[in-house]
Amino acid sequence: MISMEDLPEALLGDIIKRLPTTSDLNSLSLVSKRLYAVEAELRDAIYVGCGVCPVTVALVTLSYRFRNLCKVEFNYSGWAPHHGIQLANHGLYVLSSCCPSLTDLTLSFCSYIDDSGLCFLARFKKLMSLRLEDLPEITSAGLLSVAVGCKSLSALRLMNCENAGSVEWLEYLGKLGSLEELVVENCRRISQLDLLSFGSGFMKLQKFEFQNRCLPNRFKLDGPSYVADSQSRYDFCCDLMKDLTLVRITTEEEIGLCCLLRKCKALENLSLYYVHGVHDHDMITLAQNNRNLRSISLMLTPQHCEGYVYRTTLTDDSLNALARWCPMLQSVELTFFGCEPDWPEIGFTQKGLVMFIQSCPIRDLTLGGADIFDDKGMKALSCARFLESLKLVCCIAITDAGMRHLERSPSLINLALELCDGLTGNGVAKVARARKLETLTIEKCSRISLKDVQGAAKTVHYTDDCPGFKEWLDRCVYGSKYES
């Protein structure tokens, strides 16, 4: 009989790599001393949360056992005083001494880390990826020390850091030109004009994301980062950028981050969530320059357009451009917030949407708040050859008659419906069984019960929690769906 001690080390390593959770790995390491040793050698990442106390002592113990750590995450979400002392500045000093090979560090909800703690990050000579989330004590001074000291840094994610501001660290990183990923989310002291200080750094950037917390009301051209009639800040290119996300910002032509839409030439994934000031000419230029675009997500709200018209700014001209010049587009989300069937209106027409859907090889489609899309649109949608996944959210004009057209959809295997009160269980269940769906998700559809859809797909997810519409509205306005 062969014991664990007799198995080849390569086989033991393969077994360990197939276990996905930390609890499974910890349990396995108790089976034998050899497994304990192999698991310790292979473990390259740890997660430290509430309850690990005293954390400094634990870090020394963990680093002694796991000598090849390259990824460490500290997350104190939900922390309370009875959980014990959090990681503090001295803990980062200890970590830098114990983990010289660290390449990836996450600090989340670390209330006791301040600028002096960030200075110790320069001791991680191999640090390439840094994520700072909900660190209320850090300021621009600490970020500048990171920019200057972390020479190998290629990815920086800054989220919900209320006191982080200024532009010196952005200017330094931009001139250094080492970042390939930059994410700034909900940092109220950092504006979109500040981000333009990154300048030539955009040339190497492959992923860029900027989010404001709430929907903008108007664009105010003032503050220390604004220079009237200055175009020098826009004199940069971003030919390598593949992923671009802009969330809840407002701009005017040639002002602000919307300039990126006309400068990118390698985009594969684009997300624009309630960006005021994007017009057809922006999307047409983007489509012409980015033939490899694979994913686009647009969340649109009405704006004042030419001729005192109040509607979403993008029209069928944008859809025509995407259909004509983006032959690889496979994933599409179109969500409309604040639009009504009569007024204010959606700039797209159903005819334009149908043309767009049928012209592109779309496999994954989400329509939200699309009151212009009705049963006739569903009939045309059923002819989309490549469509595998469809999600409809608050699409009030679609009824069972339109849903039944999906019975002949050639490729549909995943269907999700949310806040679609025009649909009943009979229509949905019939389509689901006819298509032999892999997954069916029903969320807050008042006329569909769990009994109606039980067994209608291999996997069924059902919830009728209310109030559903308010949750969707909050998600649109405050962006909880998109915050990390």
Q: Do domains 44-205 and 363-484 have the same CATH topology?
A: yes
The residue ranges of the chain whose pLDDT is under 70 are 1-40, 215-233, 252-255, 307, 466-484
Q: What pLDDT is stored for residue 483 in this prediction?
A: 43
Around Cβ 388, how many Cβ atoms within 10 Å?
17
In whole angstroms, give the CA distance from residue 118 to residue 161.
13
- How many CB atoms are closer than 10 A to CB 470? 9
Return the pLDDT at 300. 92
Fold of 44-205: 3.80.10
Note the pLDDT of residue 81.
87
According to the model, what pLDDT value does residue 343 have? 73
Q: pTM value?
A: 0.87
What pLDDT, on the 0 to 100 scale, is given for residue 484? 37
Domain range list for the chain: 1-43, 44-205, 247-362, 363-484
Q: At how many degrees (to 10) do helices 89-98 and 55-65 cross?
A: 10
The confidence score (pLDDT) of residue 140 equals 95
Which architecture, in CATH terms, is 363-484?
Alpha-Beta Horseshoe (3.80)
pLDDT of residue 14: 65
Residue 481's pLDDT is: 44
Residues 6+ apart with CB under 8 A from 140: 164, 165, 166, 167, 168, 169
How far apart CA 141 and CA 145 sit, in angstroms, is 6
The CA-atom distances, in angstroms, between 250 and each of 186, 258, 283, 406 are: 14, 9, 16, 38
Domain 1-43: give its CATH code.
1.20.1280
Beta bridge partners of 377: none
Evaluate the omega torsion of the peptide bond into residue 54 and state whether it is cis, within 30 degrees of 0.
yes
